[in-house]
Structure 1
């Protein structure tokens, strides 16, 4: 799956016009020595998602967890306790373990080879680009970035620095999703007529309306906001935890659901399910050419250059998933499920066919072998872009034309201005 040379068109989202042809970047442009058997991981953002990722990576014998960073002191303490407890269960101690309140100090550490970034989405691009420049490999949670322009700049940074970047779209490593895509691509259900994608009810773009509360001791709220405009603190944005007694996050952080801080379920679940749909259609390095917002009973609809529509809508049992509709029948796939209208297309329901362990193994092997992972940065960017421009079409409430090559809405100035926002607090992306 290694990528040798590929062109990228990097555009100015704020200017809303103009096109710059970037140089061709080669994955092997910057040669680096393999780290050998052990990969020393640092975690940036050690909340609820990071705890799950830490458990998975620590099961791999080639991984040594050596560092963590977070703007919330109690979460740094929990991370440190969890890592030490995990090693104690093995009867060992970590070779090195340090925690930081500033991710830049972690990136400067010579005891970290690669980082797992599990921060809120608005920090993804800045931290990942800094990690590229620090010559750290990256496992980056989905969605790849908060804006389309951020994704363009991250793709450029990955290829310029020879970085291995894996996106946390772990469904691609599960056999049920792989089987569905393989059958669709080889024509088992005939020519595809349409694709249904369910990401769930979406509160976006509900305005930010949480009642301000006092920032808890140990949380650097300004650092949490980073490039965002000043917003009031609310515990739902960074859920509190306790170490004595032990009490973990009771909910997924609500920054996902607000226009100012996230993309709603369109990016949260869309980054998984739209990813599978585009993969099946061989559009995962391209994207749609038209986006039509919901109108009456018609759902948000994307159209690709070949005319196939992708509709964002619920179907059947209402589970988040993808349903490929072909001339001969359909294939439906979701977490833990696989089904088809054709009896000859089936998949045994067992743990091996529905787990994601291989995704984490793939990242470590990609580092060791200096190759692209199963979900490289370009695919993560293409998927994230489709999610984001869907939100833009809904926000503007009118059909939009999209050029997946130039990554622009043509001469639609109003739409192009939504491809990025102005960073605050003295933070610069590039």
Structure 2
């Protein structure tokens, strides 16, 4: 076993004991030119549904940050969040948060179809931004988000928080060390079973009291209100009963590919030191789930990179795991295979390899680390660990999987021009569309 591997084993033993970790962000002595080390960062929350509530709690747990404004188009969300952040002002129009000169940064946890406009307008207003994944609904939107961040010198952190997880950082180090040997295949997956009813088939109806449906739709196509398109189900205690189901409609999101696949593909591209695939193909369909979702219940996307292939698999009609894992990433090299998910890592040597088996379990809050990195970078003006350009590249890869599925074409991707070669149908999905007046 190499000295490098021995050192890594010692690191893992210490990490598992909870007494060591990787430093993210920068020390107080390097805090930069906008805020001093002891200055509080005033934060506005835009979108405070289930995900937004969790992010708000993480911001409030930081000693140098204060939540001073809350924005949501659904009154029950505002009321719940206001009870938690009692000193914060509330708004139904996010633009009023951006108009305030006393706010340094915003955290955006709106539905996916709003991410681009929220972020671009925040950058124009001089705010730093933490924006949930996927970065954008359309690839062209993502590039415009990068341009807005650079043109206005803003710190923009994408919510792919696995990059701030120590177990993923260790997996990336192992892959990049070369210990696994040349890697020709990487698999990513999410498996589950919601057969047969899925999210159900509710009829169109009037919006619930306290919801501005037209504002919720924003740049998306005008549609009658439907509970599944909005997706929010609250109990009497105002707790969410499920993740909002807008994710399963093309107007607002990209199904599991962009909801979960982007997390996994992001780590693959980081570990393998690549920015984009050369080509993408995908097969699948909505075969057996009997609900009104538009996204597939079964999907396999295959990504061709210069010297390896990566697949993303999703099924929601069968929950049989892969070696006991319902989701994850596995790198297959000539010397061994490496599995990683949010709480574990396992290295399995090939027969005859000099590598030794390795496993670890980690309990950590990577969202806390990710928010901490964002706040540190607001002060230092350095790029965060999931900078907007990185988020754009990873989201693009996930979106390309959906484009290949929807067009039934093998996508040849030009990562320099960010266009699909020879397919106007695919490039229409790269560009997307926006409803007036919410245009880019």
Structure 1 residues 153, 210: closer, same or farther in 2, change over 3 A? farther
1:302-313 aligned at under 5 Å gives the runs 302-304=303-305, 306-313=306-313
Structure 2 distance, partners of 1:367, 1:265, is: 31
1:321-346, Cα deviation, whole Å (9 max, x unpaired)? 10000000100001211111046463
Check whether the contact 1:202–1:264 (CA below 8 A) recurs between aligned residues.
Answer: no
1:69-148 aligned at under 5 Å gives the runs 69-84=71-86, 94=87, 97-148=88-139
1:330-341 aligned at under 5 Å gives the runs 330-341=337-348
Query: How many Å apart are 1:318 and its aligned residue?
Result: 4.2
1:2-401 aligned at under 5 Å gives the runs 33-34=34-35, 36=37, 37-84=39-86, 94=87, 97-200=88-191, 210-236=202-228, 237-241=230-234, 245-283=236-274, 286-294=275-283, 299-304=300-305, 306-313=306-313, 315-342=322-349, 344=356, 346=358, 348-352=360-364, 355-401=366-412
Structure 2 distance, partners of 1:298, 1:103, is: 35
Check whether the contact 1:73–1:218 (CA below 8 A) recurs between aligned residues.
Answer: yes
Query: How many Å apart are 1:209 and its aligned residue?
Result: 6.7
Structure 1 residues 158, 298: closer, same or farther in 2, change over 3 A? closer
Check whether the contact 1:199–1:266 (CA below 8 A) recurs between aligned residues.
Answer: no
**Local SS of the residue matching 2:186:** strand
Structure 1 residues 100, 64: closer, same or farther in 2, change over 3 A? same
1:4-25, Cα deviation, whole Å (9 max, x unpaired)? xxxxxxxxxxxxxxxxxxxxxx
**Local SS of the residue matching 1:425:** coil
1:157-185, Cα deviation, whole Å (9 max, x unpaired)? 00000000001111111111111111101
Runs ≥4 residues deviating over 6 A:
295-298
Structure 1 residues 42, 35: closer, same or farther in 2, change over 3 A? farther
Query: How many residue pairs align between the two structures?
Result: 380
Structure 1 distance, partners of 2:192, 2:393, is: 23
Structure 1 distance, partners of 2:299, 2:217, is: 36
TM-score, normalised via structure 1 length: 0.83
TM-score, normalised via structure 2 length: 0.81
Structure 1 residues 59, 322: closer, same or farther in 2, change over 3 A? same
RMSD: 2.4
Structure 1 distance, partners of 2:215, 2:366, is: 35
Structure 1 residues 393, 202: closer, same or farther in 2, change over 3 A? farther
Query: How many Å apart are 1:146 and its aligned residue?
Result: 0.3
Paired residue for 2:289? Answer: none
Query: How many Å apart are 1:347 and its aligned residue?
Result: 5.1
**Local SS of the residue matching 1:211:** coil
Query: How many Å apart are 1:201 and its aligned residue?
Result: 6.1
**Local SS of the residue matching 2:34:** coil
**Local SS of the residue matching 1:246:** coil
Q: Which runs of 5+ in 2 are unaligned?
A: 1-31, 286-297, 315-321, 350-354
Check whether the contact 1:40–1:114 (CA below 8 A) recurs between aligned residues.
Answer: yes
